[in-house]
Amino acid sequence: MHYLLIPYAFLSFSFVVQFHSRGDITARTALVITAGVTLALIFMAIAARPVSGDSWRYYNYFLMVRSIGLQNALAYRDPDLLYMLLNWSVGGLGRDPGLLFSATLLVYMSVFVAAINRLVGLSGTAVLVMCYAAFPYFIAYGANGLRQGLALVFLLMALTQFYQGRRAAWVWLVLAPLWHSGAWLAFVVVAAHWFMCRLLRSEQLRWSVVLVALVSSILLSASGLNEPLLSRLPDFVDLQQSHEIYFMDADMYGYRSGFRWDFLLFSLVPLASGLMLRRISPTFRYLGSGWWLSMYLSLNIIYHLFSFAPFSDRFAAFSWFLMPLVVYLQVAETRRKNDITLFVLAISVVNVVMLQAYTGNFLQVPRWW
């Protein structure tokens, strides 16, 4: 049994009870506190975890930046400029790995909560924190994929501001690839989606463009034509060289790249849930969730185009990271209390199951235990 299973189960059960009584201000306050304690528990478990696997690479990079100083680090011309500056800043405080992981998590979780809160308010943020606590990619990118995790939350903030029509969205969008250079792919897709929405006034026409592009990318992946078309692009060659260690790891661990039915079906969950809710709930309408679903599907094109690459789920993460948010917005738009309550109950059960079966691998026993 995972060492966090009992407190995790207690928090999840408490959240369901409080959510059922959410009309009361005391229960709503308790919801926020429970979600905050859950997030704090994840924070402490990740920050204090043993240094192993990918975290060794991040820690060695941290020691290197700390030892050579800022001027030499800038001369190194790391494309992940913001991550390098974070490492240099933390290095001035000491060399303990807990400092690095804590600082990274502080940025990661703060930007995530701020972005969600701007979109759905405090009570909605509490629900989504519990959703993401059950979602493997939130914990995985807070623990192992640190650079991409930071890029993902900055991308999330950019999308929130695009949705709200704020010009600051472009600033957040430019900052995302400075944490992880792979996010330039997401930058291109998001910018293209923004221009499409500006040029095409017809919502039906915009959906047609997104769906045609998505189906085309899936066909390229299934046929294997995406590799000869894209693997020789200069940007992909540069990415392969700068992340050579991951390509070698893929060979070592026998990672299966190329077209995968499991990844395709998983990617289609938000689309399937929207269609199902539209069929069973007469009150459901694609309002805000429609824009987010369109953006999700657009970002998912990145995965299908680069499915031939080792660890292709890292390309999929640009869309998959939005999945709990998109599904939550869809359920909320049914405006039926029973649907939302069942959703929260399901998430709470999944939370406990996923901790024992998968996410617990990233929440290892602390170094000082």
pLDDT band at 368 (very low <50, low <70, confident <90, very high): very low
pLDDT at 248 over 70: no
Distance of CA 369 to the CA centre of its chain: 29
Ramachandran sector of residue 239 (left: φ over 0; alpha: ψ -120 to 50; beta: rest): alpha
Q: Which long-range contacts (CB under 8 A, 24 or more apart) does 88-92 make?
A: 90/62, 91/62, 91/65, 91/66, 92/66
Overall average pLDDT of the 305-309 stretch: 88
Calculate mean pLDDT across residues 127-131: 88
Using 50, 70 and 90 to split pLDDT, how confident is the model at 273?
confident
Rounded to two decimals, the pTM is 0.90
Left (φ > 0), alpha (ψ -120 to 50) or beta: where does 258 sit?
left
Q: How far apart are CA 181 and CA 195, in angstroms?
A: 22
Give the pLDDT band of residue 22 (cuts 50, 70, 90). low
- C-alpha dihedral over 171, 172, 174, 177, to 10 degrees? 160
**Res 173 pLDDT > 50:** yes
Of all residues in the chain, what percent carry a pLDDT higher than 70?
83
pLDDT of 333 above 60? yes
297 vs 141 pLDDT, higher one: 297
Query: What pLDDT does residue 24 have?
Result: 67
DSSP state of 138: H
Q: What is the largest CA-CA distance in the chain?
A: 62
Q: What are 203-206's contacts with CB under 8 Å, separation 24+?
A: 203/290, 206/294
